[in-house]
Structure 1
Amino acid sequence: MAIPDLNNFLKSFFTAHHCSLLLDQDGVLTIQLTEEMDRALMNRPFYWHYMKKMGHSGEPMQLTLITNPNKRDDEGEWIHFGSPRLQQIIGYLQQQEKYTKLFQKVNPTVNTALYPWLVTNIKVSYRGKYKRDELFSIGLNLINGTMKSDMMKILDSIPLHTTISDFCYTLSPLVKLKSGYRRIEAVVDQYIENQNHEWASEALEELQTEIELLKYFYTSDNDNEQMEKEIKEINERYQPRITYQVINGGLFYLTSEIV
């Protein structure tokens, strides 16, 4: 259910923001950025300020991202779950485009129904001795309850528009949004519950080892306050925990063909 294909996630992100894909081969993705994406990702505020001041349009940069571990030493930027670049992209989605409503673009000659899908992209974070993140993209049909994983991959092949096409109409959801989101949460919860959580046991062992080592060095009662402070820091660093947050999502009105 987690997004195994980071390359596809990146393709969906950049094509949705009108960037051209110059290369997409074996986990190497070269993107021609738009001005908007250059401003958002490339940290060149002074360049764009100067270009606008001089009355020039400016030239957005190209960006090469590598998702294939076997290609990580090639020319480009190695990107993976937890990497700063991916966090930057996720942060942009959270700040700028958390919710949306889009319609499948079709050209029917008769009245055509569009089904409401609640689509949610979720980041699950595992924290303990080590840190790890997973991305989930889940779609729920709000008419019949059908649920699909890797929904971003499905949407990548569907033309979408902000306005509904002629001869189309939307069906009213039978599953309420709040109830639908709870169903998605339940699936994520079940996925997490079924995972191997040996990492959490290792984190607790490391936590206990660190505390015992710390206590060994603190023998004076006068040091209790400092020791408790450091124990608290160790707990914050090693205590295993799992959290998840919605990156973005929305309502997508689609034909029945993907059901």
Structure 2
Amino acid sequence: MKTRIAIAALGTLFTAFANAAEAPHWTYQGKTGTSQWAHLEADYAVCGTGQRQSPINIETRKVTGTTAQAIGLSYAPANAEVINNGHTVQVEPANGGALTIDGVEYKLAQFHFHTPSEEKIDGKSYPLVAHLVHKSADGKLAVIAVLFRTGKSNATLRPVFARLPAKPGDKHALHGTINVGDLLPPKRDNYRFIGSLTTPPCSEDVRWVVMKRPVSISSTQLAAFRKLYKMNARPVQAANGREVLVGR
């Protein structure tokens, strides 16, 4: 009986090691930083070889005059969980709504933050960006990037930033509900392009919607996030001649 228990314990241990091996540790700086992502795991190779990587610097003089079809937004107040995943703070609303692009619906899965902003516009970065990640029924991804400048306190994010999970793995239910639509700027002008995830495995064919106008966040709110993550932004990647459309 003791032998069986010992074998079972070893099996559990080996499984734990195997699961740990499935997700190589990556960071934003140092030996496992952004320049090394492509070498950490075979599945991460596209981080170095991909031709449509994100983020990019949007050069407005090169943006095509073609206007993309207006996006459809249908967000609603939802309960949510706030998670420190070891790379950022992530908020996961339950049934928070959807984004529609070119007739395809992408349901909101989560949103998270990077400081400074990963996206740049004419070389300018912002103190913070929120990435609103959406997924279609067939598994395709679409991300809305909302840029933040320092100014007035952001009322929508107040319950999130008032109590950020302090350690990787920590999580808690958000007090009250959150409507992700309230994070967006009143005017919905945006830039559109095809890119990738900005974290490993850097998968491509992600539809990006970058809002032109930043919204406000207070220096106190920004400091609360930077206390956990001083810098968690991937550098801009080569555009490689990608077409950037304007939308609304």
Identify whether the pair has TM-score above 0.5, normalized to the shorter chain.
no
- Larger-gyration structure (1/2): 1
TM-score computed with the length of structure 1 as normaliser: 0.21
- Structure with more helix by fraction: 1
